[in-house]
Amino acid sequence: MPSCPALFISAPASGQGKTTITAGLARYHRRQGRRVRVFKTGPDFLDPMILAHASGAPVLSLDLWMVGEEACRELLAQAAAEADLILIEGVMGLYDGTPSSADLATTFGVPVVTVISAKAMAQTFAALAFGLARFRPEVPFYGVFANRVGSTRHAQMLQAALPDDLCWMGYIAGDAAIELPERHLGLHQAGEVDDLDARLERAADVLAQTPLALLPPAVDFRAPSLSERNELPRLLDGKHIAIARDAAFSFIYPANLTLLEALGAKVSHFSPLADEPVPEGVHAVYLPGGYPELHAATLAHSALSAHTIRAHVAAGKPVVAECGGMLYLLEQLTDTHGATTPMLGLLPGHATMQTRFAALGMQQLDGIHGTMTGHTFHYSKLTTPLTPERTAIRAQGGAAGEAVFRAGPIVATYMHAYWPSNPAFAAALFNGAAF
């Protein structure tokens, strides 16, 4: 069975610096010549961009509900067979959500280090660490790491307050040259942080002096053998799918792209921001989520991209649009300053950006092929005369979730689907079939 040193990096809440520490640690071990595989807990697109840049390898999602326990187990086993170290970054606080980061770490026996921002805090740091370690005794708690520490004396106070059986994994000072910049929806995209490598190297240098840099215990990851796995049917054999991919359209699960290729599709990319056309011979177009609101003026002047997308739709060829991709298809998009920009006009409606999120959480979509899982997280509100083809439901409680609209060959929704949860459902979308 594959075994590999592995560490789960969590925190008492969001904003504690989990991604900074995980990325710095990945860069440190990569500098040592180790093959590092990093995973991100839950639905996230932005943190994985940073973590992939730090580790030099794609960052996949782990989630007991959205991805599923057996699929998570297989992903971890594959990584363990290839890597010298596995790092898993948690989501929100250690015990937040159902299922939580704690549930994931416990299911696979991965030792947990909790990162606590110690700014404006002294002995209460130890109380937080104590509570996280004792709240559920079955969680494989490994140690505690202090972030944003003010001085050596401050660090000594934090460490001295810890119970003897709680392992001190070291600390890192508050440093604006290390912290990762944020905005609405989360961190800046990796390609937008000009000095990202310098920040990662600085974090790696500091972490190298801490116990956190030592290799953690090895974990055995059991998964079905290759001979026991079911081969995916070639439901997209011979199909060519073009994906919009640039700073405006970048919220893409790597596992989704892997699935398209496993189903037989050829995948290529084009950039509406660079006014690139939809490639010739394309059978379907995917417009993923991202930040069209930050690039609305540029998109409005990308005439060649607009022309070829409109021609694709006029030819009756499928378009799958999620969140920001759906906004691009609307008639208008209004930003938080009240500026309204025309979009492609292929879907009737108007979206308005807000300063607070409009929807957040796990959702599932039920159709003729079964259930496909995913999530929603957006700051815009949509006004449209379209009647939903289907409506997703929330994972907890079963309340109505995001609408899924169908207009000619276009399928559009705010929901970000995790396609490996139902390959037949995903194939139906790109084949323009009933779902």
pLDDT over 80 at 192, yes or no: no
Average pLDDT over residues 79-105: 97
pLDDT tens digits along 122-136: 999 999 999 999 999
pLDDT given for residue 195 in this prediction: 83
pLDDT given for residue 415 in this prediction: 98
Average pLDDT over residues 298-307: 98
pLDDT given for residue 178 in this prediction: 79
In contact, 147 and 17? CB cutoff 8 Å: yes
Q: Is 167 a catalytic residue?
A: no
**CATH superfamily of this structure's domain 3-220:** P-loop containing nucleotide triphosphate hydrolases (3.40.50.300)
**Which are the contacts of 110, defined by CB distance < 8 A and separation ≥ 6?**
6, 7, 8, 86, 88, 104, 140, 219
Q: How confident is the model at residue 194 (pLDDT cuts 50, 70, 90)?
A: confident
pLDDT given for residue 316 in this prediction: 98
pLDDT over 80 at 236, yes or no: yes
Does CATH number 3.60.20.10 belong to domain 233-431? no
User: Of how many residues is the chain composed?
Assistant: 435
The 10 Å Cβ neighbour count of residue 27 is 25
pLDDT tens digits along 96-112: 999 999 999 999 999 99
DSSP 267: E
Instruction: Read off the pTM.
Output: 0.94
Q: How confident is the model at residue 228 (pLDDT cuts 50, 70, 90)?
A: low
The 10 Å Cβ neighbour count of residue 192 is 15
Q: Where are the domains of the chain?
A: 3-220, 233-431
Residue 398 Rama label (left phi>0; alpha psi -120 to 50; beta): left
Q: How far apart (Å, rounded) are the C-alpha atoms in residues 288 and 250?
A: 7
Could you give the 3-state DSSP secondary structure of residue 120?
A: coil
Average pLDDT over residues 263-290: 98
Give alpha helix (H) positions in 233-295. Answer: 254-262
Q: How far apart (Å, rounded) are the C-alpha atoms in residues 125 and 168?
A: 12
pLDDT tens digits along 244-256: 999 999 999 999 9
pLDDT given for residue 184 in this prediction: 61
pLDDT given for residue 190 in this prediction: 67
pLDDT given for residue 323 in this prediction: 97
Q: Which of 224, 258, 200 is nearest to 59 (CA)?
A: 258
In contact, 241 and 430? CB cutoff 8 Å: yes
Average pLDDT over residues 152-168: 96
Q: How confident is the model at residue 175 (pLDDT cuts 50, 70, 90)?
A: confident
Same CATH topology for 3-220 and 233-431: the answer is yes
Average pLDDT over residues 396-415: 95
Angle subtended at Cα 286 by Cα 283 and Cα 291, rounded to the nearest 5 degrees: 155
pLDDT given for residue 225 in this prediction: 63
pLDDT over 80 at 368, yes or no: yes
The 10 Å Cβ neighbour count of residue 434 is 10
pLDDT over 70 at 227, yes or no: no
Selecting among 4, 72, 167, 323, the annotated active-site residue is 323
**Residue carrying structure tokens 């130890």:** 126
pLDDT given for residue 176 in this prediction: 75
Helices 196-207 and 18-31: crossing angle in degrees, nearest 10, is 80
Average pLDDT over residues 403-432: 98
